[in-house]
């Protein structure tokens, strides 16, 4: 084993006076802590005209204050504040050391101390043990190349998710203000909509707006209880469930059916109004902080309503009608019933849902692929760094095929 001090130079960050910061690009990029980290390299938001501590290109940047341990690589000369330290490798492949530090991130975090927030000093950082001598320099580079391949594939999926999400936002803006028919627009109380669309209160199309079940969930029980945490990207995700036992009449009252929309009525202002549609097999009930919406399917398709409620412009309008307390905001069922929405003919609703659904499928594919790659990365990182497998034992052509696309 070797310590970081044995194989690298350490430069602790120091924050310059705030008067030297700027956003105009004057001076060196300035990174203060983990919040400045991008994917592989940190993304500059601020610049510093009078830097005090400078990291060079290819230095490893490590967060040393709240939180301790996350790492990144500088892709250019930059100024680092006191939330970061720069690690400049000697006698070890830099990318290999970067991945080695990723592998022992939790161990490094455990060294942090402080009553208000965790921090690690230079002597603690210098004493961190790494294991470069198990591998020769050539194998270090091969290990880093394999892990870098998988990491770049993960980043590619993240970029595709971001691009597809932006495309969906742009398409929603166009569909909900211009429609699909190229018809003239009308100015309404909620903004521009196609001339043939009606702007009416949601209550006109609802058959039900019901508060959820006031019962505490447990690890076991007869029925899974859907909560706010199960709302993800406009759909219900059945992960991290809690359960409740209910009498038959209570179960029938709160049973969720396909096409039901679950609306987050109480939460922080950021999350209040979040909406998801239920489309799962099995018996589920829903919790009290949610409102279950059911619409007349012949006049208002639930999938169309779900997309519209999740549109950024609609979310801003929903937050404007929330009542606010110190830590929570609330939208009652009564206020929600009176919320104005634009309603095209059912046939156009179906076409809008089909258009947005294509992007939802693409997003789901990229997210699943990213999750699979992340799982592969964690496995390879652990097994390669602990020599459970050696890099020459890997089927590299198969790995390259898996990470393509």
pLDDT of residue 315: 97
Strand partners of residue 192: 187
Average pLDDT on 393-405 reads: 80
pLDDT of residue 244: 97
Q: Dihedral sign, CA of 245, 249, 255, 261?
A: negative
Average pLDDT on 168-190 reads: 97
Q: Is pLDDT of 156 > 70?
A: yes
Average pLDDT on 55-71 reads: 94
Domain 198-343 CATH assignment equals 2.60.40.10? no
Place of tokens 């992340």: 374
The pLDDT confidence band at residue 122, using thresholds 50, 70 and 90, is very high
pLDDT of residue 116: 76
Q: Is pLDDT of 133 > 80?
A: no
Q: Is pLDDT of 344 > 80?
A: yes
Residue 71's nearest CA partner among 79, 82, 59, 81 is 59
pLDDT of residue 325: 85
Average pLDDT on 311-334 reads: 94
The pLDDT confidence band at residue 327, using thresholds 50, 70 and 90, is confident
Q: Is pLDDT of 167 > 90?
A: yes
Average pLDDT on 117-127 reads: 93
Which own/partner pairs from 307-310 qualify as long-range (CB within 8 Å, at least 24 positions apart)?
A: 307/172, 307/234, 307/352, 307/353, 307/356, 308/176, 308/341, 308/342, 309/261, 309/263, 309/273, 309/275, 310/234, 310/274, 310/275
pLDDT of residue 405: 63
Average pLDDT on 206-230 reads: 95
pLDDT of residue 38: 66
Place of tokens 């990491």: 151
pLDDT, mean over the chain: 93
pTM, two decimal places: 0.86
The pLDDT confidence band at residue 106, using thresholds 50, 70 and 90, is very high
pLDDT of residue 397: 80
CATH topology of domain 2-134: Adenine-n6-DNA-methyltransferase TaqI; Chain A, domain 2 (3.90.220)
pLDDT of residue 395: 84
Q: List CB contacts of 270: < 8 A, sequence separation 6 or more.
A: none
Q: Same topology for domains 2-134 and 198-343, yes or no?
A: yes
The pLDDT confidence band at residue 398, using thresholds 50, 70 and 90, is confident
Domain positions in the chain: 2-134, 198-343
pLDDT of residue 101: 96
Predicted confidence (pLDDT) per residue in 69-93, tens digit: 999 999 999 999 999 999 999 989 9
Of 293 and 39, the structure prediction assigns the larger pLDDT to: 293
The pLDDT confidence band at residue 402, using thresholds 50, 70 and 90, is confident
Predicted confidence (pLDDT) per residue in 15-40, tens digit: 999 999 999 999 999 998 887 776 56
Q: Which two tokens stand for residue 72?
A: 């990144």
pLDDT of residue 39: 59
Residues of the chain with pLDDT > 90, as a percent, come to 86
Q: CA 277, 278, 284, 286: dihedral to nearest 10 degrees?
A: 10
Lowest-pLDDT range of 14-23, 34-43, 102-111, 258-267: 34-43
pLDDT of residue 108: 95
């Amino acid at each position: 084993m070797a310590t970081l001090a044995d194989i690298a130079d350490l430069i602790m960050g120091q924050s310059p006076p705030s008067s030297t910061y700027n956003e105009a690009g004057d001076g060196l990029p300035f990174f203060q802590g983990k919040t400045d980290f991008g994917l592989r390299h940190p993304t500059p938001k601020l610049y510093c005209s009078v830097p005090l501590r400078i990291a060079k290109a290819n230095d490893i940047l490590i967060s040393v204050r709240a939180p301790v341990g996350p790492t990144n690589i500088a892709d250019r000369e930059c100024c680092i504040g006191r939330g970061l330290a720069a690690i400049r490798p000697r006698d070890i492949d830099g990318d290999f050391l970067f991945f080695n530090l990723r592998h022992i991130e939790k161990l490094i975090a455990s060294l942090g101390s402080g009553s208000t927030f965790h921090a690690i000093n230079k002597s603690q950082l210098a004493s961190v043990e790494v294991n470069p001598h198990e591998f020769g320099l050539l194998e270090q580079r091969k290990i880093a190349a394999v892990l870098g391949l998988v990491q770049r594939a993960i980043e590619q999926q993240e970029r595709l998710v971001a691009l597809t999400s932006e495309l969906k936002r742009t398409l929603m803006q166009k569909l909900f203000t211009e429609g699909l028919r190229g018809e003239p627009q009308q100015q309404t109380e909620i903004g521009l909509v196609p001339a043939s669309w009606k702007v009416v209160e949601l209550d006109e199309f609802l058959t039900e707006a019901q508060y959820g079940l006031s019962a505490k969930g447990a690890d076991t029980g007869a029925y899974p209880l859907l909560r706010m945490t199960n709302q993800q990207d406009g759909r219900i995700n059945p992960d991290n469930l809690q359960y409740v036992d209910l009498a038959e009449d209570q179960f029938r009252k709160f049973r969720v059916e396909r096409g039901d929309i679950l609306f987050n009525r109480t939460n922080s202002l950021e999350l209040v109004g979040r909406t998801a549609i239920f489309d799962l097999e099995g018996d589920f009930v829903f919790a009290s902080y949610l409102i279950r919406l059911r619409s007349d399917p012949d006049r208002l398709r639930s999938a169309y309503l779900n997309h519209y409620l999740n549109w950024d412009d609609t979310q801003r309008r929903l937050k404007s009608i929330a009542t606010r307390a110190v830590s929570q905001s609330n939208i009652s069922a009564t206020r929600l019933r009176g919320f104005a929405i634009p309603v095209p003919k059912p046939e156009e609703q179906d076409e809008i849902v089909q258009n947005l659904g294509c992007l939802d499928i693409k997003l789901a594919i990229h997210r699943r692929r990213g999750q699979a790659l992340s799982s592969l990365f964690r496995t390879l990182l652990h097994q390669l760094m602990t020599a459970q497998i050696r890099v020459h034992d890997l089927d590299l052509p198969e790995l390259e095929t898996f990470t393509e696309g």
